[in-house]
Amino acid sequence: MGKGSFRALVAIGVLVPALVALAFVIHPRGRAHLAAFFAPLPEPSRDAGAASLPPLVAARGAESAELRTLREDASAQPDARAGVRSRTALFALGADGEIPAGGDRFVRPAGLRRPEIMVRDDASIDRAVNHLTADAGARAVMTGNAVILRGGSEAARSTAAIHAALAAGLAAAGLPAAAIQRVADPDRALVGAMLGAAGLIDVIIPRGGRGLVARVLAEARVPVLAHLDGNNHVYVDAAAEPAMATRIVLDSKLRRTGVCGAMETLLIDRGYPHRAGLLAALLDAGCEVRADPALRPLDPRLVAAGDDDWDTEYLDAVAAAAQVDGVAGAVAHIARHGSHHTDAIVTGDPAAAAQFTAQVDSAIVLHNASTQFADGGEFGFGGEIGIATGRLHARGPVALEGLTTYKTVVRGTGQVRG
């Protein structure tokens, strides 16, 4: 399919029915279809967790963090149909296929608020987990894009099955199956071919380990939307409500340790009166805490933090902890060590919250909410393809709006410049 041909082929009126067809195939018929492809994961080692992994993919000798991600991803697999269905109600498309800008129109079920004429833009995505195959395919269709998916070998069987279900859904909607393509060959040389495909691929969105993302950023001749690390912080201000602070810190770190939105460093204002209790809550929950000299005397279980700990994305039940001097100290620490991904403040002081959200230069900044909300679905995007920390085109969760670009359409009545 030539560049731009899918855009010309797809009428806006068929996009929503196509998504409904995709959702139907993914779940009722797709459930049995997928089962034929799934193979059991190996039992996790002790450091990967005690629970058995679900029968989703064939992975052998994978790192514990990867297995943990795949296991956590499996719990979301039944929601794939709901994620696809959410695309159909997310935006009211205009007659010309325009996607209206946001405004303060998103109030999420969790109570979060996200205040905020695009045309379609081809995309290419690379990732190793399962649900993204359905998510990316549906999002590409919704924005009138063709998409190339290259999944990791750890999830090869499940991504192949999901892709087959998507192709069936496209056919049922009268759209070309080639609109959602999958690179089945695991040869990594093909990644290089994609990175150099300027003029054929409009944008690459890498999802995976640091090595993959670093390679894409270093070698790509195609525009890239990506983040290298998720070295995220939660700053607990002196004016934080203790129960709220504990709840947010525990959720930010331990709800899912292997996701890019997990907290990696806890910053505590020296004026916060419940520092010891907050650290004890993390320790009691099974998290190793590597603390600076100011905090270590508060609990004998604290481990001394090294210089590298402030710059580490653990993706595990490990966190660094430092004491800082107010909002200014927190902002300075994040500026030195953060990755511009997701950072949060817990405080009851509106002025402190305003200062933090204005001065922290991250794609996502939260006030009194867990960093684990760093997900496009939670912000009203209906899911995301990735989180971008750059400054061009799209920043933060990349969803429908991020898979489009702009053009200027001018309608005159005979005006000239002469």
- What is the CATH code for 232-373? 3.40.309.10
User: What pLDDT sits at residue 142?
Assistant: 80
Mean pLDDT across the chain: 76
pLDDT of residue 102 exceeding 50: no
The confidence score (pLDDT) of residue 126 equals 54
pLDDT > 60? residue 107:
no
Distance CA 69, CA 157 (A): 16
**Which region among 150-159, 212-221, 296-305 has the lowest average model confidence (pLDDT)?**
150-159
Size (the chain), residues: 418
Name the more confident of 5 and 53.
5
Query: Which pLDDT belongs to residue 27?
Result: 53
Contact 388, 363 (CB under 8 A): yes
Taking CB atoms within 8 Å and a gap of at least 24, the contacts of 54-58 are: 56/130, 56/155, 56/158, 57/130, 57/154, 57/155, 57/156, 57/157, 57/158, 58/156, 58/157
Question: Tokens 């924005």 — which residue?
Answer: 143
Q: Supply the pLDDT for residue 41.
A: 40
Residue 203 has pLDDT above 90, yes or no: no
CB-side exposure of 342: number of CA atoms within 13 Å?
24
The domain limits of the chain are 5-226, 232-373
Q: pLDDT for 237-286, tens place per residue? A: 999 999 999 999 999 999 999 988 999 999 999 999 999 999 999 999 99
Distance CA 357, CA 76 (A): 31
Give tens-digit pLDDT for 328-371.
999 999 999 999 999 999 999 999 999 999 999 999 999 999 99
300-329 as b/e: b if 16+ CB within 10 A: eebeebeeebbebbbbbbbbbbbbbebbeb
Beta carbons of 207 and 149 less than 8 angstroms apart: no
Q: How confident is the model at residue 39 (pLDDT cuts 50, 70, 90)?
A: very low
Task: Domain 5-226: state its class.
Answer: alpha beta
Measure the CA–CA gap between 276 and 296, rounded to whole angstroms.
10
Q: Which amino acid is at 271?
A: G
pLDDT band at 119 (very low <50, low <70, confident <90, very high): very low
Q: Which of residues 387 and 361 earns the better pLDDT score?
A: 361
Query: Any idea of the CA torsion for 239, 271, 308, 353, to the nearest 10 degrees?
Result: 30
**Pick from 13-27, 61-75, 119-133: least confident:** 61-75
Instruction: Provide the pLDDT confidence category of residue 376 given band limits of 50, 70 and 90.
Output: confident
* R_g (Cα) of the chain, nearest Å: 22
Task: Render pLDDT for 42-90 as a digit per residue (tens, 0 to 9).
Answer: 444 433 333 333 333 333 334 455 555 555 554 444 455 555 555 444 4
Read off the pTM.
0.73
pLDDT above 90: percentage of residues in the chain: 35
Q: Is the pLDDT of residue 129 over 90?
A: no
The per-residue pLDDT for 406 is 78
> What pLDDT is stored for residue 407 in this prediction?
82
